[in-house]
């Protein structure tokens, strides 16, 4: 088990190392660099050369890559080409906002998904299941900006309960974000609840047909106890990975939602930096988001290993 855990961790580290190289050299290969972005129309001749020398862009790419990785390990991602501020600082404030958004969505979405997943599994192919499963397909497939538009129309234009967009800067205190955060949270919760619900439903259906559940029933365990104490814990194992992928999505993929609601998080920052061609920021952000993705998935695999005794004795495979 320990060997597997170590191996899995090592694979995660290799993936992060690969991503870092991929990001760095891909961005490198694209036409234009930090200097052409800063100088814009003046980017030619002596000024361009001077700027490149100042920023160290005249050194070979591999040397700069090693510097970049070394800095990233020490927690220094360099400076933004646009504003000159430290990237870790810029990312930090927005990461906190995105974590707030993601945390709230998880806090609402995960329990809701578990509850609805169990309900749909128990009511399999009957009215509550058919209705909820259809709603889940709608929620997970309709683009987020469409859901967002409909929610804004309903709750801020029509009913006037909450503001439609967030008007707060990246370093605003949490209290100013709070009244405006509910619509983005609602959009994200809908998507993630739908995905987790479907996983819980399908594994719950499998588990409920298992021998140990039959056994518990036959020996007269009350129905609710069979569901919540005997069946649900085993049914949750497949859900761990989906929850992990959802967390990764929340940390990196909520660009559209943040953009729609003007929410000052990582996603909006990513779009803005790419349009401004602030390449050092793009590289730093990509590294942070990819590491989060790998880390969360690693944590999920290790957690599954810890919770499922069957995996410990199973043949050790990568």
Partner 1 sequence: MKALLRRPSGAIGLVLVAVHVAIAVTAPWIVPHDARAISAALMFSPPDAAHWLGTDHLGRDILTRTMLGGRQALLVTAIATPLAVAWGGMLGMYLGLAGGQRDDVAMRLVDALLSLPWILKMLLMIVTFGAAPQVLVPVLAFFYGVPVIRIARAATQGVVARDYVLAARARGHGRFSIILREVLPNVRDALMVEGAMRWSWMLLAFSSLSFLGFGVAPPTPDWGLMIADSRSFLAIAPWAALAPVAALSSLIIGINLTADALAKALGLDRAHSAPQ
Candidate list 259, 261, 264, 269; residue touching partner 1; CB under 8 A: 259
- The C-alpha atoms of residue 110 and residue 240 are separated, in whole angstroms, by 11
Q: Using an 8 Å Cβ cutoff, are 186 and 257 in contact?
A: no
| CB-nearer residue toward partner 1: 216 or 239 | 239
Residue keyed to tokens 């949750």 = 236
In the bound complex, what is the minimum distance in angstroms from residue 211's beta carbon to partner 1? 20
Residue 316 is a binding residue for partner 1 (CB under 8 A)? no
Residue 270 is a binding residue for partner 1 (CB under 8 A)? yes
Candidate list 116, 208, 282, 288; residue touching partner 1; CB under 8 A: 282
Candidate list 1, 5, 27, 69; residue touching partner 1; CB under 8 A: 27
Phi first, then psi, for residue 86 (nearest 5°) are -65, 135
Measure Cα distances from 240 to 110, 230, 302 in Å: 11, 17, 10
Residue keyed to tokens 């609840």 = 193
Say how many residues make up the chain.
Answer: 318
Q: Report 145-204 residues binding partner 1 (CB under 8 A).
A: 145-146, 149-150, 152-153, 157, 191-192, 195, 198-199, 201-203
- The C-alpha atoms of residue 50 and residue 270 are separated, in whole angstroms, by 28
Handedness of CA 197, 198, 199, 202 (dihedral sign): positive
Handedness of CA 284, 25, 12, 242 (dihedral sign): positive
- The C-alpha atoms of residue 69 and residue 75 are separated, in whole angstroms, by 10
Residue 63 is a binding residue for partner 1 (CB under 8 A)? no
Candidate list 2, 31, 75, 219; residue touching partner 1; CB under 8 A: 31
Residue 137 is a binding residue for partner 1 (CB under 8 A)? yes
* Per-residue tokens: 136: 């889940």
In the bound complex, what is the minimum distance in angstroms from residue 291's beta carbon to partner 1? 8
SS3 74: coil
Residue 262 is a binding residue for partner 1 (CB under 8 A)? no
In the bound complex, what is the minimum distance in angstroms from residue 123's beta carbon to partner 1? 16
Residues that bind partner 1 (CB under 8 A): 11, 14-16, 18-19, 22-23, 26-27, 30-32, 134, 137-138, 140-146, 149-150, 152-153, 157, 191-192, 195, 198-199, 201-203, 238, 241-242, 245-246, 248-249, 252-253, 255-256, 259, 267, 270-271, 274-275, 277, 282, 285-286, 289-290, 293-294, 318
């Amino acid at each position: 088990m320990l060997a597997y855990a170590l191996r899995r961790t090592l694979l995660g580290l290799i993936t992060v190392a690969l991503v870092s190289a991929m990001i760095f050299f891909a961005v490198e290969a694209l036409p234009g660099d930090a200097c052409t972005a800063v100088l814009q129309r003046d980017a030619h001749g002596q000024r361009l050369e001077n700027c490149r020398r100042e920023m160290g862009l005249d050194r070979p790419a591999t040397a700069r890559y090693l510097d970049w990785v070394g800095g990233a390990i020490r927690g220094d991602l360099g400076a933004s080409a646009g504003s000159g501020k430290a990237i870790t600082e810029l990312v930090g404030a927005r990461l906190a906002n995105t974590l707030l958004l993601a945390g709230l969505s998880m806090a609402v979405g995960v329990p809701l998904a578990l509850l609805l997943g169990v309900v749909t599994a128990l009511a399999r192919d009957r009215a509550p299941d058919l209705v909820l499963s259809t709603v889940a397909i709608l929620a997970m497939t309709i683009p987020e900006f469409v859901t967002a538009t409909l929610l804004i129309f309903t709750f801020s234009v029509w009913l006037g309960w909450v503001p439609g967009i967030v008007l707060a800067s990246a370093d605003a205190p949490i209290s100013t974000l709070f009244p405006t955060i509910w619509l983005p949270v609602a959009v994200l919760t809908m998507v993630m609840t739908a995905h987790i619900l479907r996983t819980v439903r399908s594994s719950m259906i499998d588990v409920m047909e298992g021998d140990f559940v039959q056994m518990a029933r036959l020996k007269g365990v009350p129905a609710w106890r069979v569901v919540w104490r005997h069946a649900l814990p085993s049914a949750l194992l497949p859900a761990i990975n989906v929850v992990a992928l959802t967390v990764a999505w929340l940390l990196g993929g909520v660009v559209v939602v943040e953009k729609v609601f003007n929410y000052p998080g990582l996603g909006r920052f990513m779009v803005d930096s790419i349009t401004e061609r602030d390449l050092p920021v793009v590289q730093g952000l990509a590294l942070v988001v990819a590491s989060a993705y790998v880390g969360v998935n690693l944590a999920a695999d290790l957690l599954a290993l810890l919770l499922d005794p069957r995996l410990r004795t199973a043949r050790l495979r990568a």
